[in-house]
Structure 1
Amino acid sequence: MGINEDNLHASLAHLVLCCVAGRGISRMHGKSFTDPGMHANFFIHGVLGFLHFQSGMFNNDFRAAYVISYKASRYLALPCLMADLYRSNQALSAIHLVSGIVPFALALAGEDNISLGNLVIACNIISLCYYSLENNREWGWYTAGAGVFAYFIAPQKSSIMMYPLGLALMEYCAYRVFGIVFESL
């Protein structure tokens, strides 16, 4: 495929991410600052991704904004979700938020530590699995699996559209984690 086709596919993948994240934002009705964190983060990344990959049509360069939103979608989204899930435990909620802020701040300072970032992502995924087991949330397991795909498998592929599609899958599963769970009799 040519560069223009790759850009078109990446733009479409970011539009899919926008649509899924927009639905996630519309379903949130909490009064927490972390509540829309993951959903808003993915929505903004989708918009900036579309603009970045179509910047030739707009005669603007959105690369700097896209790089920041990429780092935010990588390091802040999952900690925001976990902070929201653990909102009843303020200490654990704060730990999850700080776990994402540290690698994000390092990335913004130009000292991106990929190993630390991957460790933080893995710890948040493990915490999500524990939360899902403890609270009987099957969509938490799906979200964790989608997170493994989005953060560890998709970046290894050469296709630039796999990461936003992985985030869209993770977003689709994540806003279902908050649903009502009926205990089986």
Structure 2
Amino acid sequence: MRVLRLTLLLVTALLAGCNFKGVPDPQVSSRDSEWLAEVPKAQEDLRYGRYLIDDPTGEAPGTIVVDTKERFLYYVMAGKKAVRYGVAVGDEAYGWTGTARVARKAEWPDWNPPAEMKARWPHVRYTKGGPENPLGARALYLYEGDKDTLYRIHGTNEPEKIGLAVSSGCIRMRNIDVIDLYNRTDVNAKVIVR
């Protein structure tokens, strides 16, 4: 039985390699390395790895598209390519869809939960940026026009939840993935959440 499982895992990994090209980890600062080492590790699900693929969105280069049903985020590149990342999304009660723009970006941001979240969960509180912060290594702040949507694309201190619908609407990524996306994304980039 164990040999069969190992064989299936190996075949799955080999087939994934045929369809997708892995994207190397971005370079990180010494602070990033130190803090990333403090975030709990999770067994990585190869389905939600970071891959260079043919662009399935048809959007302009520089656009971010989030497919909430499939739990993937696409960063559209030139040449009809995209980088695909696995994400955790909002559960049905809290999910947000629409078109926004990245109004600002932050490294290891502080987290101040919105009033609605504090009302639902009185235990949540302001948390300074760092490895224990729910926003993780980076955050992209989504605005509709000049109005903050209060939704973010951000890292996580719960990497085991990538691929699930568990957040209060934000798009969570593995910290190394959100660093990669942060480095690629310009302020005012278009974001489409479907």
With the length of structure 1 as denominator, give the TM-score of the two structures: 0.29
Q: Which has the higher strand share?
A: 2
With the length of structure 2 as denominator, give the TM-score of the two structures: 0.28
